[in-house]
């Protein structure tokens, strides 16, 4: 996909991964966002993701770093999450403030990496943005059954298969694959988006409750009747959500 003419695009490699950096042209940026794309851990980054990346880069005046992480069957959570955390640390070493963001499966990776940064690197991020994140690989929330009846996109059975493969040898409640199972105290601020016609919505609500109880600053945006990753969609509600994302990331 050809990106807009008002951004620059650089690409390098780290641990064999292509790492893209998208930044506003002719701008001195002092902040970085590491963005993890979704796709159920099996699908490549697509045009919707690149449009969001470009929108964030130009709107928030930040460099957006996009790691093309290995998908199933070539990568698992145990492989990918620590590498993402290390990528954040390396970008921090340049003196830039760094936030994490991700959608769907990428939201799982982003939150799991934020937890690993807190625990292993003593790093508290200024903001983590989660768009319809996958939060519990077990999909055991009993409310998922009723939501699935209204979700025209995601199916619990299929997502469970992908999630089990992504889990690999980890136990189901390991925070590297199920961040909802983690102790959340000490995390930096979270911004979360979810639509009610999304089987991942019950876990998003559970995250809000758990984060609030743990004293985490969580900024939750739920839209009734909307689908999975609605902030990526070319609809009024998607545009409004993207404006919020830009505002939150510009503030840090």
| Confidence check: pLDDT of 1 > 80 | no
Count of CB atoms situated within 10 Å of the CB of 130: 29
Q: What is the pLDDT of residue 218?
A: 98
| SS3 (DSSP) at 191 | strand
Instruction: Write down the domain spans for the chain.
Output: 7-250
Please determine, for residue 236, whether its predicted confidence score (pLDDT) is greater than 80: yes
pLDDT of residue 96: 79
Active site residues: 104
pLDDT in tens, 60-117: 999 999 999 999 999 999 999 999 999 999 999 887 789 999 999 999 999 999 999 9
Confirm whether pTM is higher than 0.85.
yes
CATH T-level topology, domain 7-250: Rossmann fold (3.40.50)
Question: Long-range contacts: 221-225, Cβ < 8 Å, 24+?
Answer: 221/191, 221/192, 221/193, 221/194, 222/193, 222/194, 222/195, 222/196, 223/193, 223/194, 223/195, 223/196, 224/195, 224/196, 225/195, 225/196, 225/197
Q: CA-CA distance, 11 to 225, in Å (whole number)?
A: 38
Crossing angle of the two packed helices 77-92 and 105-121, in degrees rounded to 10: 60
pLDDT in tens, 171-212: 999 999 999 999 999 999 999 999 999 999 999 999 999 999
């Amino acid at each position: 996909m050809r990106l807009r003419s008002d951004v620059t695009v650089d690409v390098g490699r780290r641990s064999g991964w292509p790492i893209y950096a998208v930044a506003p042209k002719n701008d001195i940026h002092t902040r970085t966002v590491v963005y993890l794309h979704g796709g159920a851990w099996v699908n490549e980054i697509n045009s919707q993701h690149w449009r969001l990346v470009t929108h964030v880069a130009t709107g928030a005046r930040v460099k957006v770093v996009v790691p093309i992480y290995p998908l199933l069957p070539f990568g698992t959570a145990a492989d990918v999450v620590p590498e993402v955390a290390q990528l954040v640390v390396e970008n921090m070493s340049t003196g830039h403030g760094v936030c994490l963001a991700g959608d769907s499966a990428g939201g799982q990776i982003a939150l799991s990496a934020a937890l690993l940064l807190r625990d292993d690197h003593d790093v508290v991020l200024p903001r983590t943005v989660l768009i319809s994140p996958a939060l519990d690989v077990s999909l055991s929330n009993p409310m998922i059954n009723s939501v699935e009846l209204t979700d025209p996109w995601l199916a619990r059975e299929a997502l469970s298969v992908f999630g089990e493969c992504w889990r690999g040898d980890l136990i189901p409640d390991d925070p590297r694959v199920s961040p909802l199972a983690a102790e959340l105290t000490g995390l930096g601020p979270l911004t979360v988006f979810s639509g009610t016609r999304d089987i991942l919505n019950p876990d998003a609500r559970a995250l809000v409750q758990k984060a609030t109880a743990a004293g985490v600053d969580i900024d939750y945006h739920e839209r009734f009747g909307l689908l999975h990753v609605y902030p990526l969609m070319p609809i009024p509600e998607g545009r409004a959500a993207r404006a919020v994302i830009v505002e939150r990331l510009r503030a840090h």
